[in-house]
Amino acid sequence: MADNVLPLLGSEDRAAPLRVYDWLPGVRDTLGPGLRAVVWVQGCSLRCPGCMVPETWSPQIGRLIPAAELADEILALPDLDGLTVSGGEPTEQPRAVADLLRRVKVAGKNTWVYSGYTLEELVARGDPDTDALLAAADVLVDGRYEQDKAGLFRWRGSPNQRFHHLSSAIPVAEDGGAGNARVEVRLDNAGSLTVIGVPPPGFLIQLRRRLKARGVDLKSDVPWN
The type of residue at 117 is Y
Which of 37-46, 48-57, 91-100 shows the lowest mean pLDDT across its residues?
48-57
Spatial contact of 19 and 6, defined as CB atoms under 8 Å apart: no
Outline where DSSP puts E strands in 87-202.
110-115, 139-142, 162-165, 183-187, 193-197
Q: How far apart are CA 65 and CA 53, in angstroms?
A: 20
Which residues make Cβ contacts (< 8 Å) with residue 182, sequence separation at least 6?
29, 30, 154, 197
Q: Which fold has domain 11-177?
A: TIM Barrel (3.20.20)
Tens of pLDDT, residue by residue over 154-211, are 899 899 999 999 999 998 866 655 556 677 777 676 667 677 777 777 777 787 788 7
Q: Where are the strands (E) in the chain, listed by range?
A: 17-28, 35-41, 63-66, 82-86, 110-115, 139-142, 162-165, 183-187, 193-197
Residue type, 67: A
Helix (H, G, I), strand (E, B), or coil: what is residue 38?
strand
**Cα gap 103→211, rounded to integer Å:** 40
Separation between Cα atoms, residue 100 and residue 15, nearest integer Å: 11
Task: For residue 195, list its beta bridge partners.
Answer: 185
pTM of the model: 0.84
Does 12 have pLDDT greater than 50?
A: no
- The pLDDT tens digits for 89-132 are 999 999 999 999 999 999 999 999 999 999 999 999 999 999 99
Phi/psi at 151 (5° precision): -170, -160
